[in-house]
């Protein structure tokens, strides 16, 4: 499975700007939350989705890898020309976690906006 080229930012400001633009796009995709309770509910819901999906991260990853390995054809069978497994198994697992992660960040960003958290704190969060 070929991996895409990672996004490289030349400066911390460029990285922060790109992260903000991405979060704005994600925020627009989710209904606007007006209260702090709504924002906290988004974060809690994302956490609960993640716990349901992968209550133990190691077990989740092992299960995904076992599915992928099971999709790899038997190399002893010469009639099968493909030697690769079904990469969509891994891609789907990554997408599932990514969507939950983006949802949690949307709620977190709304909380930051409501509490008027300064850009320097956001930059420090991006570095971590």
**pLDDT of 28 strictly over 90:** no
74 — pLDDT class (breaks 50, 70, 90): confident
**pLDDT of 1 strictly over 50:** no
Rounded to a whole number of angstroms, the distance between the first and last alpha carbons of the chain is: 28
DSSP one-letter string for the chain: -PPPPPP--SSHHHHHHHHHHHHHHHHHHSPPP-SHHHHHHHHHHHHHHHHHH-SSHHHHHHHHHHHHHHHSPPTT-TT-------THHHHHHHHHHHHHHHHHHHHHHHHHHHHT--HHHHHHHHH-
Quote the pLDDT of residue 46.
Answer: 93
Q: What is the mean pLDDT of residues 10-22?
A: 71
């Amino acid at each position: 499975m070929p991996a895409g080229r990672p996004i490289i930012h030349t400066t911390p400001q460029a990285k922060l700007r790109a992260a903000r633009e991405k979060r704005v796009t994600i925020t627009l995709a989710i209904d606007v939350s007006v209260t702090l309770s709504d924002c906290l509910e988004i974060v809690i819901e994302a956490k609960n989705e993640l716990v349901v999906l992968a209550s133990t991260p190691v077990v989740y990853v092992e299960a995904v890898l076992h599915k992928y390995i099971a999709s790899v054809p038997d190399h002893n069978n010469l009639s099968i020309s493909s030697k690769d497994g079904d990469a969509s198994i891994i891609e789907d697992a990554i997408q599932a976690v990514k969507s939950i992660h983006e949802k949690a960040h949307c709620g977190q960003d709304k909380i930051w906006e409501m509490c008027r958290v300064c850009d320097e704190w956001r930059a420090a969060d991006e570095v971590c």
